[in-house]
Amino acid sequence: MQIRTSRQDLFALLAILIFTSQACHAHVETAAAGFVSGLLHPVFGIDHLLAMLSVGIVSAQLGGRHILLVPSTFVVSMVTGASLGVLGYDIPFLEAGIALSVILLGTAIILIRGGQRSYVVYLFVAFFGSLHGYAHGLEMPKAADPVYYAGGFLVSTVAIHLLGVGIGYAMTSTPKYYEKLRHMGAMMAGMGLMILINLFSAS
């Protein structure tokens, strides 16, 4: 079957492409900006980065099914919190709560031995995950596509969790490095305390 294309058809097609290219280009830019903004926000926010790394490390310390369930709890709670942020709900003492999450999750790395009292970890992870998600939703750029922004920070969050799991698994499986992991937890808790002090001193 042979398709014949007239000169008029080509001109019509060219006109359609010209008039629609700008709209398509603008949509792609908005979507890309939204995805990249969401992707980079957890990486360049030291409090978000440390908390998410800690979640991955703690899940590796608990071991077994907790390696999947602890980060999943954080992600689900984060999505819930992000929805509240986008809708404009007010959560008091947000920044202090996020700084506190770094302190307590870093402390958890120091204290956890096996899977005992794991329910306490889940409560902390769910609560702090919602705070971090709320901050993400609240800080979403107005021009960004919310779907792409959410996709970006979900991808980034999962990647940071996986990095934390890898660090935790590597260091817990080697006894001589396990003590160093506790030192790492102490450093994270100390950095969270510094963030909290700076927050109150600036206010």
Single out the residue of 48, 50, 140 nearest to residue 95, CA to CA: 48
Q: CB under 8 Å, gap of 24 or more: what pairs does 84-92 form?
A: 84/130, 84/133, 84/134, 84/137, 85/133, 85/134, 85/135, 85/136, 85/137, 85/138, 85/139, 85/140, 86/137, 86/138, 86/140, 86/146, 87/137, 89/134, 91/131, 91/134
Tell me the pLDDT band of 165, cut-offs 50, 70 and 90: very high
Max mean pLDDT range (10-24, 77-91, 153-167) = 153-167
User: Which pLDDT value is given to residue 1?
Assistant: 45
Instruction: Enter the tokens of residue 144.
Output: 């960004």
pLDDT value at 193 more than 90:
yes
What is the value of pTM for the model shown?
0.79
| pLDDT per position as a tens digit, 4-47 | 445 554 444 444 333 333 333 333 344 556 788 778 877 888 89
Single out the residue of 151, 175, 2, 30 nearest to residue 82, CA to CA: 151
User: Which pLDDT value is given to residue 113?
Assistant: 73
Mean pLDDT of 110-128: 85
| pLDDT per position as a tens digit, 127-146 | 999 999 898 777 776 656 77
H-assigned helices in the chain: 7-44, 46-62, 66-87, 94-111, 118-138, 146-172, 175-202
Mean pLDDT of 75-102: 88
Q: What is the DSSP letter of 173?
A: S
Mean pLDDT of 101-115: 88
Buried b (16+ CB within 10 A) or exposed e, 90-108: eeeebbebbbbbbbbbbbb
